[in-house]
């Protein structure tokens, strides 16, 4: 028996593909060369993450972007496993900068799905509130003086908060959902 | 001799102030004039802020660069993370006029404007290119008879304009050797220390990243690990403590290149407050003094 798709099934397959997605990705910094990937897999061979996670395979992620499988890509938390070691970039024979492309995907995920790892939300909120990513305790400031170091220049946290507002990240930070683990 | 705006960042001045003390001692000996940057904020941190939203990353970074532009001085950074953020933001803003306009539209509301008039340098570039190994060697009064393993840190390799990625790691190697130390090769220099994945999965970060590195470093017979990145330094130190709690006994001293230079320049170890380290750096320095 020859299998044939019903019209509804066909519609669903087409609907899962977003042909404009690769152009949206390639419009972001560092992701310009996504079309140059010819699937050799050198990125994945050198990737210290891909051997521990089935989804996190830079070669396949590149292909999924080219094909426009946007929903499947952005709904998978494994995108956050990249540790930005840049081994993939250093090895790519086509000059495709996979780690930057993963970064572009994360930017799009945050913008569209408003979701991020809990610790990232905390750290970004720290910059927003204090100007520094690590909250600086009084004890540490005292210890600096004991060590004979000059006072640390004060951060202009009010201005930083305004910059956060102007780039709309404050808004996203307020609403973003978080997760603690990637399964 | 050169003058720079010093970008301290958050990790070094707060978590490993001994690196700042060592750096300031080295600058003084070499006659490098460093102006502290007033009103600076987090660079911001390249792995987190940039991954979440590139525009906020670029805007906050541009603001930090404008502080150095006001002083008319190139920026020097001690930390690999600050280096990558400021270097790449500077490169993007110099190249991409549209992006520069968008960022300046925001900054000008608060009386600032990015002009693209300064460069960003990592401290190894300042020491290697602007001061030079010859001049540094003159200051080495206590050559260190030790074997060390180098961990360069992933962010030190970045070359946004397409240069040789080993350019700065080779400088770090040269600066280490000038202290008299012998660099041992262990084959896993390029592997990430696991610091960024620590925040997502501790077991993975320790067992798949730090542990293979430590094993190879010990097999290579190193007396210490030398780093430039404070995040890697913290990972190597707290990582060893966490591994010991799991019964894997490593306790190798992990110190910053600037501390190594300061020790070879004859700065007394008591002055450096090496006790802020969570690996036996203080004991290591005491042993060196005894030799």
Residue-range domain boundaries for chain A: 7-113, 114-183
The answer to whether domain A7-113 has CATH 1.10.1060.10 is yes
Per-residue confidence band for A13, with pLDDT thresholds at 50, 70 and 90: low
Please tell me the distance from the alpha carbon of residue B51 to that of residue A123, in angstroms, as a whole number: 12
pLDDT number for residue A1: 46
Say what the pLDDT of residue A12 is. 63
Identify the segments of chain B with pLDDT beneath 70: 1, 291
Q: Which of chain B's residues have a Cβ under 8 Å away from the Cβ of A162?
A: 109-110
CB of A3 within 8 Å of any CB in chain B?
no
Phi, then psi, of A154 in degrees rounded to 5: -75, 140
How far is A114 from chain B, CA to nearest CA, in Å?
A: 10
pLDDT higher than threshold 70 for residue A4: no
Which residue's entry shows tokens 């990015």? B114
| Sequence-separated (6 or more) residues with CB below 8 Å from residue B234 | B11, B15, B16, B195, B278
Task: Give the number of other CB atoms < 10 A from CB of residue A3.
Answer: 4
pLDDT digits (tens, 9 = 90+) for A74-126: 999 999 989 889 999 999 999 999 999 999 999 999 999 999 999 889 989 99
The whole-angstrom distance between A5's CA and the closest CA on chain B is 40
Q: What is the pLDDT of residue B120?
A: 97
Q: Give the Cα separation of B166 and B153 in Å (integer).
A: 12
Residue of A nearest to B45 (CA): A133
ipTM score for this prediction: 0.75
DSSP 8-state assignment for residue B53: -
3-state secondary structure of B149: strand
Rg of the Cα atoms in chain A: 21
Angle between helix axes B230-245 and B80-95 (nearest 10 degrees) is 140
Q: In the prediction, which pLDDT does B61 show?
A: 96
For the stretch B16-41, pLDDT in tens is 999 999 999 999 999 999 999 999 99
- The pTM score is 0.87
* pLDDT tens by residue, A25-55: 999 999 999 999 999 999 999 998 888 888 9
Residue A124 contacts B, CB cutoff 8 Å: yes
A159 touches chain B (CB under 8 A): yes
- pLDDT at position A183 is 74
Q: Strand (E) positions, A4-156?
A: 115-117
> What tokens appear for B127 in the block?
């020491």
Q: In the prediction, which pLDDT does B161 show?
A: 81
Q: Does B201 touch chain A (CB under 8 A)?
A: yes
Minimum Cα–Cα distance from B194: chain A residue: A83
Report the 10 Å Cβ neighbour count for B247: 6
């Amino acid at each position: 028996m020859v299998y044939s798709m019903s019209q509804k099934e066909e519609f669903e397959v087409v609907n899962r593909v977003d042909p404009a997605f690769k152009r949206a990705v390639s419009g972001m910094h560092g992701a310009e060369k996504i079309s140059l990937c010819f699937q050799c897999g050198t990125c994945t061979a050198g990737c210290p993450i891909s051997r521990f996670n089935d989804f996190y395979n830079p070669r396949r992620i590149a292909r999924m972007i080219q094909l426009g499988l946007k929903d499947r890509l952005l709904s998978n938390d494994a995108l956050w496993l990249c540790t930005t070691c840049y081994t993939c970039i250093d090895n790519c024979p086509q000059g495709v900068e996979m780690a930057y492309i993963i970064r572009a995907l994360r930017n799009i995920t945050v913008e569209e799905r408003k979701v991020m790892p809990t610790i990232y939300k905390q750290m970004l909120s720290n910059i927003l509130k204090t100007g520094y990513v690590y909250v600086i305790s009084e004890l540490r400031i005292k210890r600096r003086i004991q060590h004979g170091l000059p006072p640390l220049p004060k951060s202009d946290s009010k201005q930083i908060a305004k910059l956060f507002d102007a780039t709309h990240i404050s808004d996203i930070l307020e609403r973003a959902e978080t997760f603690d683990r990637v399964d | 001799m050169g003058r720079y705006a010093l970008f301290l960042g958050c990790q070094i001045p707060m978590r490993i102030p001994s690196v700042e003390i060592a750096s300031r001692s080295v600058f003084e000996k070499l006659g490098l004039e460093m102006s502290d940057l007033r009103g600076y904020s987090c660079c911001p941190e390249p792995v987190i802020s940039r991954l979440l939203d590139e525009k906020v990353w670029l805007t906050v970074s541009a603001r930090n660069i404008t502080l150095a532009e006001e002083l008319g001085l190139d920026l020097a950074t001690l930390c690999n993370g600050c280096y990558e953020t400021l270097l790449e933001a500077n490169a993007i803003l110099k190249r991409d006029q549209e992006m520069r306009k968008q960022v300046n539209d925001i900054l000008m509301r608060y009386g600032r404007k990015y002009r693209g008039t300064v460069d960003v340098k990592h401290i190894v570039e300042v020491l290697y290119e602007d001061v030079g190994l010859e001049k540094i060697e003159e200051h080495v009064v206590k050559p260190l008879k030790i074997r060390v393993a180098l961990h360069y840190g992933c962010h030190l390799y970045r070359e946004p304009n397409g240069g040789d990625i080993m350019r700065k790691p080779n400088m770090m190697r040269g600066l280490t050797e000038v202290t008299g130390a012998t660099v041992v090769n262990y084959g896993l220099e390029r592997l990430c220390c696991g610091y960024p994945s620590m925040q997502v999965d501790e077991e993975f970060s320790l067992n798949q990243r730090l542990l293979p590195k430590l094993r190879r470093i010990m097999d290579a017979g190193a007396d210490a690990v030398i780093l430039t990145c404070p995040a890697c330094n913290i990972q190597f130190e707290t990582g060893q403590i966490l591994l010991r709690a799991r019964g894997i006994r490593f306790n190798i001293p992990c110190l910053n290149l600037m501390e190594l230079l300061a020790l070879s320049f004859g700065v007394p170890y008591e002055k450096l407050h090496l006790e802020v380290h969570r690996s036996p750096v203080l004991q290591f320095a005491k042993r060196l003094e005894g030799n």
